[in-house]
Amino acid sequence: MSGAALPAAPALPRMDRTQLIVWAMALLPIVVLCVFYFYPLMRVLTISVTEPEFGLGNYRDIFTSSAVRRVVQTTLWICVVSSVVSLFFGYLLAYAIVHAAPSWQSWMLLAVLLSFWVSVLIRTFSWIALLQTRGLVNETLQVIGLIDEPIRFIRNPFGVILGMVHYMIPYAVLPLMANMRTIDTRYVPAARGLGASPFGAFWRVFLPLSLPGLISASILVFIFSIGFYITPALLGGGRSTMVAEYIALQVNETLAWGQGTALASSMLILVFAMLVVLGRIVKFRTMFGAA
Amino acid sequence: MERLRGGFGFAFTLCLAWLLIAFLILPLLIVVPISFTPERYLSLPEGTYSLRHYETVFTDRGWRKGIFDSTVVALGAAALAIVMGTLCAIGLWKLSSRLGETIRILALTPMIVPPIVHALGMYRVWVDYGLIDTYSGLILAHAMKGIPFVVISVSAVLSNFDPRLEQAARSLGAGPLTAMRLTILPNIWPGVLAGGVFAFAISWDEIVVALFLTRRRVDTLPRQIWDGIQDNISPAVAAVGVLLILATILAVLGKMAWDRRMAARARGPA
């Protein structure tokens, strides 16, 4: 509250009332969030240490059960691969958009935004229609005689990674672009003028300047990928079950709430840990456009 | 800049970028031919085209209920998120204290928590509250997910708002609420609207929470699509896909035109 701009002394009691109103405005939504959002999150944490019995048994099981370990391993490697691929392509695309001629820029941006907003279910449906054993791609390849047997594109880790990369590229592009737009466009030509090669100028000038954007995009993309549910469930075909789908199975099929919530809590803690790291690198205010 | 744009390296990068854009967009277009197939199963039309799957979407009880339920829930969730998010953003803007930053992070959490985590928790709590499979239950859940987007977009507009305007209103004798209503609200409505559209879209598209919180009485469009993919990959999903993609194109074009108008207004004489 910037006290300097407030009216002079006689208004003091009114200032207190204003303060009160402002606090009420900021806090009312928080109270609502506490009742309908944070309380449910708390319930997840408490269930994980109380069902079936009080203690950390569910967390111990995460490390001892071979089924859980396999799911966690699958999730981690699929997330790492799809995040790295999404970031690499996302960086490339963001770089191209930021440096493209203005008339092209808006078309490219339009495409990225479209892809960003299209329903995850519809994109998954499209991939199934294209890539299933009797889908467009396999039929075409067979007609032109490149293959005899249909290739298994989906219902395996490849399908999951493909679907995740397709979903996450726009999520990588948008924060990267926001960061690249703040980089002074004269630096790279200056480096070139001082004798750097085109790639040298990029590697030693542009890339380091875009590092904050790259780090925040990495963390965002990785956080999203950890929680993926729809894409792995539909494109994985039960062969590469990831944590979110496994949690749903635990809760819906075997009613193992303790195990499910312990995994969910671990996911939550991991996500918050990454956010804390992120918070040290970029200010949340600037990241979410409130600066 | 010129040197950079003219170089061979950049031309190559640009080609790759267009390839990536093709990768992002082209696979989605498969829904267009499929939606016109005359068959009952997933196939490309060969010679004959049919609108039967569009007819199904608009006449079948399940799909109609899906469209209706999604609209009701998304409108409700957007309205609630607008009120909560706007209050929160204005409050935070005026506070700008350390505690305010904590509150901001709290208000943004629903955006970042993996959906499966809050879906589990909400399911258990909604059972206690008696909200499972009710419109109000799903509206509340989706509104929580929409609040961060309203907070962000309203905060963005507020950061360009001159606080002296409100102080002037106060010094001319307006009470704190009147001053806010007369000075802040007329100036932040673009942000409120944008946030509301975001919240609507988030709810309209939401599936994970809906799978946990609803059964049969509330059956949103994404749930219908989910069933349509899982059970017997129906071409009706392709028809819905075409309609949803068209709506997305319109929305994105509208947003771009809107941004341009706003930018022009900001540049022009105030």
Residue of B nearest to A162 (CA): B23
Q: How far apart are CA B62 and CA B151, in angstroms?
A: 35
CA distance to partner chain A, nearest, from residue B128 (Å):
11
**Cβ–Cβ of B25/A114 closer than 8 Å?**
yes
pLDDT tens for chain A, 291 residues long, are: 444 444 444 544 555 777 888 888 888 999 999 999 999 999 999 999 998 889 898 899 888 888 899 999 999 999 999 999 999 999 999 999 999 988 899 899 999 999 999 999 999 999 999 998 888 898 889 889 888 888 888 888 999 999 999 999 999 999 999 999 988 888 888 998 898 888 888 899 999 999 989 998 999 999 999 999 999 999 987 778 899 999 999 898 888 899 999 999 999 999 999 888 887 776 655 554 433
Taking CB atoms and an 8 Å cutoff, what residues of chain A touch B88?
A: 25-26, 28-30
Query: Euclidean distance between the first and final Cα of chain A, in Å?
Result: 16
What are the tokens at A28?
């009312």
Interface test with B, best of A12, A44, A176 (most B CBs within 10 A): A44
B98-134 confidence digits (pLDDT tens): 788 888 888 999 999 999 999 999 999 999 999 999 9
Closest residue by Cα to residue A124 from B224, B27, B23, B26:
B27
Q: What is the pLDDT of residue A62?
A: 85
- What pLDDT, on a 0 to 100 scale, did the predictor assign at position A166? 96
Three-state secondary structure string covering A149-206: CCCCCCCCHHHHHHHHHHHHHHHHHHHHHHHHCCCCCCHHHHHHHCCCCHHHHHHHHH
Contact between A2 and B112 using a beta-carbon 8 Å cutoff: no
Q: Taking CB atoms and an 8 Å cutoff, what residues of chain B touch A122?
A: 28, 31, 225, 237, 240-241, 244-245
Side chain identity at A50, as an amino acid letter? Answer: T
- Angle in degrees, 0-180, between the axes of helices A243-252 and B115-129, rounded to the nearest 10: 20
Q: Where are the alpha helices (DSSP H) in B96-216?
A: 98-112, 115-129, 135-158, 163-171, 176-179, 185-205, 208-213
Which of B17, B42, B252 is opposite residue A110, by nearest beta carbon? B252
* Cα angle A99-A105-A111, degrees, rounded to a multiple of 5: 125
For residues B261 and A54, give the distance between their C-alpha atoms in angstroms, rounded to a whole number. 59
Contacts of A206 (CB under 8 A, 6+ apart): A183, A187, A188
Q: How far apart are CA A32 and CA A30, in angstroms?
A: 5
- Measured distance CA(A29)–CA(B30) in Å, rounded: 43
Query: Which residues neighbour A12 within 8 Å (Cβ) at sequence distance 6 or greater?
Result: none
Confidence bin at B83 (pLDDT 50/70/90): very high
Asked whether B213 and B126 are in contact (CB, 8 A), the reply is yes
Kindly report the CA angle at B240 between B238 and B244, in degrees rounded to 5?
A: 115
In tens, the pLDDT along B21-65 reads 999 999 999 999 999 999 888 888 888 899 999 999 999 999 999
Q: Is the pLDDT of residue B165 over 60?
A: yes
Q: Is residue A109 within 8 Å of A128, Cβ to Cβ?
A: no
The count of CB pairs under 8 A between chains A and B is: 289
Q: Which residue has the higher pLDDT, B242 or B261?
A: B242
- Report the top-level CATH class of B64-234: mainly alpha
Q: How far is B121 from chain A (nearest CA, A)?
A: 4
Residues of A in contact with B11 (CB under 8 A): none
> pLDDT, tens digit, for every residue of A115-163?
999 999 999 999 999 998 888 898 889 889 888 888 888 888 999 999 9
Radius of gyration of chain B (CA): 23
Cβ atoms of B222 and B69 within 8 Å: the answer is no
Q: In this complex, which of A14, A30, A166 lies closest to B24 when CB atoms are compared?
A: A166
Q: For residue B3, give the nearest of A14, A192, A268 by CB distance.
A: A192
For the segment B178-216, what is each residue's pLDDT rounded down to a tens digit? 888 888 888 899 899 999 999 999 999 999 999 999 998
Residue B1's pLDDT is 45
Would you say residue B9 has pLDDT above 60?
yes
3-class secondary-structure state, position A147: coil
**CA of A281 to nearest chain B CA: how many angstroms apart?**
15
CA dihedral (B128, B129, B130, B131) in degrees, to 10, reads -120
Selection from A244, A242, A245, A231 nearest residue A126 by Cα:
A231
Residues of A in contact with B100 (CB under 8 A): 26
The domain locations on chain A are 10-50, 65-287
Nearest beta carbon to residue B125 from set A40, A136, A169: A40
B261 and chain A: CB distance < 8 Å anywhere? Answer: no
Q: Give B 50-79 residues with CB within 8 A of chain A.
A: none
Question: Cα separation of A277 and A4, whole Å?
Answer: 35
Task: Please give the angle made by the CA atoms of B25, A80 and A85, to the nearest 5 degrees.
Answer: 35
Residue with tokens 């948008």: A174
* Angstrom distance (rounded) from CA A254 to CA A257: 8
Residue B174 forms contact with A (CB below 8 Å): no
DSSP codes, B243-257: HHHHHHHHHHHHHHH
- Name chain A contacts of B42, Cβ cutoff 8 Å: 129
Q: What is the 3-state composition of chain A as percent helix, strand, coil, each rounded to the nearest 5?
A: 80, 0, 20
- Measured CA to CA in angstroms, residue A213 lies from A178, A236, A255 at distances of 8, 31, 42
> Minimal Cα distance from A165: which residue of B?
B24
Residue A134 token pair: 């009797």
The residue among A171, A178, A173, A74 whose CA lies nearest residue A120 is: A171
Tell me the one-letter amino acid at B189. Answer: W
Q: Yes or no: say if A216 and A278 are a contact pair by the CB < 8 Å rule.
A: yes
Cα dihedral sign for B201, B207, B209, B211?
positive
Show me where the domains of chain B are located.
64-234
Q: Which is nearest to B32 in space by CA: B54, B47, B59?
A: B54
**Cα–Cα nearest to A86, from B102, B125, B23:** B23
Q: Has residue B269 got a pLDDT over 60?
A: no
> Up-side HSE of residue A175: CA atoms within 13 Å toward CB?
22
pLDDT of residue A15: 58
State whether A115 and B163 contact (CB < 8 Å).
no
* pLDDT of res. B263: 79
Fold of A65-287: MetI-like fold (1.10.3720)
Any chain A CB within 8 A of the CB of B159? yes
Give the mean pLDDT of B249-260. Answer: 88
- In the numeric block, the tokens 């031309």 are attached to B11
Cα separation of A33 and A27, whole Å? Answer: 10
In this complex, which of A89, A121, A271 lies closest to B112 when CB atoms are compared?
A271
pLDDT at A286 (0 to 100): 54
Best residue in A36, A154, A226 to probe B by mutation, most B CBs within 10 Å? A36
